Structure 1
Amino acid sequence: TIGISDEELQQLLETRDWPYIRCCGFLYIRFGCATEKLWDQLGDYCLDDQEFEPSKAQSFTISVGEYVEALLMDERYYYTTLPRIPVGVKKKIEERVAPLMQYRKRTAANRKLLHLFRESGAPVEACIRGDWREATVI
């Protein structure tokens, strides 16, 4: 093992300056974490919208969240086989990953309208303990 501490790993995952360093941390988890704990370790990062170019050979960008999702769902990382995830664990991960694309679309749409909710008095709806209530921005 590399012998990285939890605190050092957290620093890798949380650095916002270099997405490639974050990806090293995600890979470390994917290769070294017990499969039943993968979602607990990586799930929170699946909606991360920081963008980067994963490969200089192919000119395209993806979000860190999409990168993490691929680590959870794919069996290979480029030309390297990732550790196998047992079927039961894989199904649970698939259930959690299924709505992510919809969440990303909603986030993008909401970002376009965010300016409307910066003004005091703007009408909004809020979900409080499962109940939708009408409210206004203060």
Structure 2
Amino acid sequence: MLGWRLVASALELDVDELPEGYRPNSPIAAALPQATPTALMNFLIGPRAIFDAIEAYLSEFPYFGGSRFSAADIMMHYQVRHSMLMSQIDLEDYPITTKWRGMVEQRPAYIRADKAAQPGGVDEHGLPIGSPMPFPVRRART
């Protein structure tokens, strides 16, 4: 149980506030043998390293395709947007990535792709309008 408390603590939640699949006695966690406290802590720590790598790459190149905007940026935008929600990453810690997101969001190709993918629009978190939040909106401790 201590491991589950550590996972909850990393998210600044009580154990019973953890999303269903992250609760120690949930049917989802029971069906997933890899959902151990250690695996969940790696899930919380791993994204920071990935976002550090993204920030480092974008400090050298303006886009994921190098010097030019490409479909890679549209795909990476989607991944960054959803990864920051799922892992509670705050992009304020990543100013270059934040700037890149803004540049991508202004591109006509991105606007067309986003509209095609989300015809009803998205909320301030980038989720389709009316979608439930996967986690409470809180910033994890670093």
- Fold in common (TM above 0.5): no
Greater helix share, 1 or 2? 2
Higher relative contact order (CA 8 A, sep 6+): 2
Larger Rg: 1
TM-score range, shorter chain: 0.3 to 0.5
Q: Name the one with the larger strand percent.
A: 1
Query: Normalized against structure 1, the TM-score is what?
Result: 0.33
